[in-house]
Amino acid sequence: DKAAHVIGQVNKELGSMSEIGRNLKDFQAFLTAPKLRGNIGEQILYDAMSQVFSSNQYDTQFKFKDGQIVDAVIKTNEALIPIDSKFPMESFRLVCEASTDQEQERSKREFVKTVKKHIHDVSKKYILPQEKTVDFAVMYIPSENVYYEIVANNEEVLEFARQSNVLLVSPNSFFHFLRVILMGLERTKIQEEAQKIWELLKSLQQENIKVNESLSLVNRHLTNAKNAMDIACAEHLKFSSKIDQVKLLK
């Protein structure tokens, strides 16, 4: 009876694990749907803005006269700052899953192509001085990993973004961006300060890249240290085994 009870409990736990696996698979499928993934990015964007601004300082799903709808705009006395969320998750996933150098090169080319298309779309659709926007737009990338893949290894993409007057931000850097804008709103001269803010934000972006590179370096050092420890432990076991063999000779 006791054995049957134990077996029953084990089967129950295995059933729970299977259910968790199915749920994770369902969630992964959920994230692969572009529209649903986009909705998640937009919601993260809105939550960040609501933590900094009052409701009368920004609009979501703002519609321009030409019919284009941008995810959000920050409202100032003299201009609108357009912000759109882009989540190139599918092309990023292919980069991560590439198993050969050839696949890696091909998937990175596709990733760069996808990101540049997003940048182009944001620039052309939402930088509209005739509708009182500032002369730059913000492209919000709701994933630090995806953002780091863009800014750390793709100078081509960063240069294209600069030429297109599109500022790339991640969840972390977006908070700093909002604080800078809030200071501009308090001075009520955002349009006059737009160029200074643009330069400051680019500087913040570079600082963020340096921090990410430092974290990556620390991670590599920790990995190397662990590998060295594993080798030392293995050598110690060999040494101990030889000592034991010597003892047996007695």
Q: How far is CA 57 from CA 46, 146, 178, 250, in A?
A: 12, 29, 11, 86
Tell me if 12 sits within 8 A of 38, measured CB to CB.
no
Residues listed for the chain: 250
The whole-model pTM stands at 0.62
Nearest Cα residue to 48 out of 119, 142, 134, 123: 142
In angstroms, what CA-CA distances link 199 with 5, 41, 179, 185, 241? 68, 26, 15, 17, 64
Q: Which amino acid is at 206?
A: Q
Return d(Cα 77, Cα 181) in angstroms, integer.
Answer: 12
CB atoms near residue 196 (< 10 Å): 11
Three-state DSSP state, 143 = coil
221-244: pLDDT as tens digits: 777 777 777 777 777 677 667 666
- Asked if pLDDT for residue 120 goes beyond 90, the answer is yes
Q: In what order do the strands lie in the sheet with 137-140?
A: 58-63, 69-75, 80-85, 137-140, 166-169
CA distance 247 to 223: 36
Q: Is the pLDDT of residue 3 over 70?
A: no
pLDDT tens for each residue of 160-176: 999 999 999 998 888 88
Q: Confidence class of residue 42 from pLDDT cuts 50, 70 and 90?
A: confident
Picking from 62-71, 154-163, 186-195, 202-211, which range would have the lowest pLDDT averaged per residue? Answer: 186-195
Q: Is residue 2 predicted with pLDDT exceeding 90? A: no
- As a whole-number percent, the residues of the chain with pLDDT over 70 amount to 76
Largest distance between two CA atoms of the chain = 95
Contact 20, 28 (CB under 8 A): no
Least confident range of 6-10, 75-79, 143-147: 6-10
CA 66 to each of CA 60, 63, 122, 193: distance values in angstroms, whole numbers, following the listed order: 17, 8, 14, 27
User: What is the rounded distance in angstroms from the CA atom of residue 150 to the CA atom of residue 173?
Assistant: 14
Q: What is the mean pLDDT of the chain?
A: 78
Range of weakest confidence among 16-20, 101-105, 136-140, 185-189: 16-20
Beta strands in the chain (DSSP E): 58-63, 69-75, 80-85, 137-140, 166-169
Residue 1's contacts (CB-CB under 8 Å, 6 or more residues apart) are none
pLDDT, residue 159, reads: 92
CA-CA distance, 243 to 245, in Å (whole number)? 5
Phi and psi, residue 140, nearest 5° = -90, 125
CA–CA distance, 57 with 13 (Å, rounded to integer)? 51
